Structure 1
């Protein structure tokens, strides 16, 4: 038994990130689902879809919900789930965050949320140009 993972994003961002991470790792070790949110959606309808998906993923240890941009419709929908279900929401999904989460499938919900945060932060870097190519 492990934590479930639900990815709620604008359009196919979540599906694409999950497909890429799964291909990189060769496996998806968590029970996972995605929810693509259209720009012209009815948020109440999408919330019902999110609750249904989260209920299916919840096997007693909770569900980690990753969403893209805090304050956007997918994030707002995700942040209404804890009112109904044992979920933790982390906004700002990126590929390093998702890969980090999938590498620790046996962690608790709280520990997995912390791995998501560290993976997301640690995966954002300034890639400096080579010194011999710097021009003023």
Structure 2
């Protein structure tokens, strides 16, 4: 299995709960971490926390964040110069599950393809179910 660290950065505890929800379906997930921007956390504190997490990881890193242009996105993106990781916005449960299943079943990772798969999953996971019911 190729090693990819997945770090989820979100407003509030969304990332933590997203991991818990995915683990209800998949079981325990390895190499997946979250960092939460709480109302009491300053920009500098959040930057330090993310920097510390990224700095302690070995191997390739893919960062998933909730909102383009939000503080988690901005912090993770600013740290790409230091850690050379990729950042994808719009994290949701289908994306995390699909990403993890693809990663654990891969011997070699093409990070560009992994990222494109994440984006494809986000786009295809939004469905107006009223239109699908017969």
TM-score exceeds 0.5: yes
SS in 2 for 1:128: helix
Aligned-residue RMSD, C-alpha: 1.7
SS in 2 for 1:71: coil
Structure 1: stretches of 5+ with no match in the other structure: 132-136
Structure 2: stretches of 5+ with no match in the other structure: none
Corresponding position of 1:134: none
Corresponding position of 1:65: 63
Corresponding position of 2:124: 122
User: 1:19-77 CA deviation, whole Å, 9 max, x = no partner?
Assistant: 1111201231x411100001342212211211211122332xx2100000111111111
SS in 2 for 1:34: strand
The 5 Å alignment of 1:78-97 reads 78-97=76-95
For 2:117 and 2:80, locate their aligned partners in 1 and report how far apart those are by CA, in whole Å: 19
State the aligned residue count: 128
Q: Whose helix proportion is higher, 1 or 2? A: 2
For 1:79 and 1:108, locate their aligned partners in 2 and report how far apart those are by CA, in whole Å: 20
SS in 1 for 2:102: coil
89-98 or 38-47, larger mean C-alpha shift: 38-47
For 1:108 and 1:40, locate their aligned partners in 2 and report how far apart those are by CA, in whole Å: 38
TM-score when normalising by structure 2: 0.86
Quick check: 1:21–1:98 contact (8 Å CA) kept in 2?
A: yes
Corresponding position of 1:22: 23
TM-score when normalising by structure 1: 0.85
Quick check: 1:3–1:108 contact (8 Å CA) kept in 2?
A: no
For the pair shown, which has the larger CA radius of gyration, 1 or 2?
A: 1
Q: CA deviation at 1:90?
A: 0.4
Extract structure 1 runs of 4+ deviating beyond 3 A. none
